[in-house]
C-alpha cells in the first residue's frame, strides 16, 4: 500500500519541530462558489500515537476518497479535535474577493485565514517575540505556543506573500498525512457551502457538481445566465465561445445579469453577509493538554449526540499551557 507512507513522511518532517501544520485548498478551478482552504495542526505526540499508527492509513487526498469515506474521516477528525489531539479550521475567500484579488490572491487569502483561525484555536502566538525590543514582562512561552515551533506544509508550490514561513510540497496531499487531512477539511467545508447554495439558487445543480464546469452546469449557464455566485472572470471565455449572434456581448451579459440579481437582493434585503466565518479564540481548554482517552476503532460510528461533552470534566492542572512533548525511549 502507498498510503501508510503519508504518516512516515510527517514523522520525518516533525523530527526538528514541535508539530506540523498542513494546508490545502478546494475549489480553485470551479466556475462558482468560494475558494476554501483547510489548516490542520498535529504535534509529534499524535503522529507517534498508537491511534495514528493504526487508523490513519485510510486517510488520503480528498479527491481520491468516496464521499462516504471522506465524511467518515471528517467526523473522526471532529472527534479527535474534541479530544484535544488535533486542531483544524477552514478559511474562506468569497467570489467577490476572487474577482478583486484573482484566484491566486484569493487562494492565498483563504490559506492565511485558515492558518490564523487554527492558531487562534490553539492559542498559539502567530509571530515570535521580536528580539529588537525589550519587554517589561517577557512572554513565558512553552514549547508549541509560538508559530516558530511549528512547520507549515502546503500542497503545491510555495505561496508568495502568505505571511508565514512554509514549505511547498508538490502533490503534497498524496505525500503528507497532515496535508491530506487539510484537503479533507477544505473539501467537506466547501461541499457544504455549495449544497446550501443549491437550496438558495435552485436549477444550477450546485449540490451535484459543486460549481465545477460539468455538462449540466454549462447547460444551466447558457439557459439561465450567471448568478452572483459565479466567477465572471472564469465564465467569460466559456460564454464568449457559446454565445451566438443573437446574444449581446459577454461583458454586457455578465454585468447586466449579475447586476440585476444584486439589485433585487438589495431591494428585498436578502443580500447575505459575505464576511468569512470567525472562530472563537477562547476555547475552554487548551487543545494540547495531555489527557488519557480511549482509543476508538476507526470504523465505529461517531460518538452519540447525547454523550457528555469533555468540557464537563474537571479541568486538568496543565490546561493553562501547552504540555511539552516528552522524549520517548
Query: Residue 324 falls within a domain, yes or no?
Result: no
What are the CA-CA distances from residue 218 to residues 105, 230, 241, 246, 261 (Å)?
Answer: 26, 12, 12, 19, 19
262 and 162, same structural domain?
no
Which residues, in sequence order, are bridge partners of residue 40?
A: 22, 88
179 and 131, same structural domain?
yes
182 and 241, same structural domain?
no
Q: Give the pLDDT score at 208.
A: 95
Closest CA to 32 of 189, 228, 219: 228
Please state the domain count of the chain: 2
214 and 256, same structural domain?
yes
- Predicted TM-score (pTM) of the model is 0.72
Query: Residue 138 falls within a domain, yes or no?
Result: yes
In the predicted structure, residue 138 carries a pLDDT above the cut 50: yes
Query: Residue 322 falls within a domain, yes or no?
Result: no
Question: Crossing angle for the helix pair 177-200 and 5-13, nearest 10 degrees?
Answer: 110
218 and 250, same structural domain?
yes
Query: Residue 318 falls within a domain, yes or no?
Result: no
Q: Which three cell numbers stand for residue 47?
A: 503522529
Nearest-angstrom CA–CA distance, 77 and 181: 8
- DSSP assignment, residue 108? H
84 and 60, same structural domain?
yes
Q: Give the pLDDT score at 135.
A: 56
Query: Residue 160 falls within a domain, yes or no?
Result: yes
* Centroid of chain to Cα 74: 11
The arithmetic mean of pLDDT across residues 159-163, rounded, is: 94
237 and 108, same structural domain?
no
Query: Residue 319 falls within a domain, yes or no?
Result: no
183 and 305, same structural domain?
yes
Nearest-angstrom CA–CA distance, 298 and 296: 6
208 and 190, same structural domain?
no
- The parent domain of residue 241 ranges over 203-268
In the predicted structure, residue 129 carries a pLDDT above the cut 80: no
Query: Residue 141 falls within a domain, yes or no?
Result: yes
The arithmetic mean of pLDDT across residues 18-30, rounded, is: 96
E runs forming strands in the chain:
19-26, 35-43, 86-93, 150-155, 167-169
222 and 143, same structural domain?
no
Mean pLDDT score across all residues of the chain: 78
Query: Residue 50 falls within a domain, yes or no?
Result: yes
pLDDT, tens only, 300-323:
445 555 554 444 444 433 333 334
120 and 171, same structural domain?
yes
pLDDT, tens only, 226-237:
999 999 888 876
Last residue of a domain, one of 216, 246, 268: 268
For residue 171, the domain's CATH number is 3.30.420.10
In the predicted structure, residue 278 carries a pLDDT above the cut 80: no
In the predicted structure, residue 134 carries a pLDDT above the cut 90: no
289 and 264, same structural domain?
no
Amino acid at each position: 500500500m502507498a498510503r501508510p507512507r503519508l504518516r512516515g513522511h510527517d514523522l520525518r518532517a516533525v523530527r526538528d519541530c514541535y508539530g506540523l501544520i498542513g494546508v490545502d485548498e478546494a475549489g480553485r478551478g470551479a466556475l462558482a462558489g468560494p475558494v476554501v482552504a483547510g489548516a490542520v495542526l498535529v504535534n509529534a505526540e499524535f503522529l507517534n500515537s498508537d491511534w495514528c499508527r493504526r487508523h490513519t492509513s485510510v486517510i488520503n487526498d480528498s479527491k481520491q476518497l468516496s464521499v462516504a469515506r471522506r465524511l467518515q474521516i471528517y467526523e473522526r477528525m471532529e472527534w479527535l479535535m474534541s479530544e484535544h489531539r488535533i486542531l483544524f479550521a477552514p478559511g474562506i475567500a468569497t467570489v467577490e474577493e476572487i474577482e478583486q484579488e484573482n484566484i491566486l490572491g484569493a487562494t492565498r487569502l483563504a490559506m492565511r485565514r485558515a492558518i490564523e483561525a487554527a492558531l487562534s484555536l490553539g492559542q498559539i502566538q502567530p509571530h515570535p517575540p521580536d528580539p529588537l525590543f525589550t519587554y517589561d514582562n517577557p512572554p513565558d512561552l512553552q514549547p508549541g505556543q509560538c508559530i516558530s515551533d511549528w512547520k507549515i506544509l502546503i500542497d503545491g508550490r510555495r505561496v508568495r506573500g502568505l505571511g508565514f514561513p512554509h514549505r511547498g510540497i508538490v502533490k503534497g496531499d498524496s505525500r503528507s498525512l497532515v496535508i491530506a487531512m487539510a484537503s479533507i477539511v477544505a473539501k467537506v467545508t466547501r461541499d457544504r457551502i455549495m449544497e446550501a447554495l443549491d437550496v438558495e439558487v435552485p436549477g444550477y445543480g450546485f449540490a451535484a457538481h459543486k460549481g465545477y464546469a460539468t455538462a449540466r452546469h454549462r447547460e444551466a449557464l447558457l439557459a439561465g445566465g450567471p448568478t452572483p455566485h459565479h466567477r465572471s472572470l472564469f465564465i467569460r471565455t466559456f460564454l464568449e465561445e457559446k454565445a451566438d449572434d443573437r446574444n449581446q456581448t459577454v461583458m454586457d451579459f455578465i454585468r447586466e445579469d449579475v447586476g440585476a440579481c444584486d439589485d433585487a437582493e438589495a431591494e428585498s434585503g436578502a443580500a447575505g453577509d459575505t464576511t468569512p466565518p470567525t472562530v472563537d479564540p477562547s476555547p475552554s481548554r487548551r487543545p494540547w493538554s495531555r489527557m488519557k482517552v480511549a482509543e476508538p476503532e476507526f470504523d465505529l460510528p461517531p460518538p452519540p449526540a447525547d454523550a457528555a461533552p469533555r468540557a464537563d470534566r474537571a479541568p486538568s492542572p496543565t490546561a493553562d499551557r501547552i504540555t511539552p512533548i516528552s522524549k520517548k525511549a
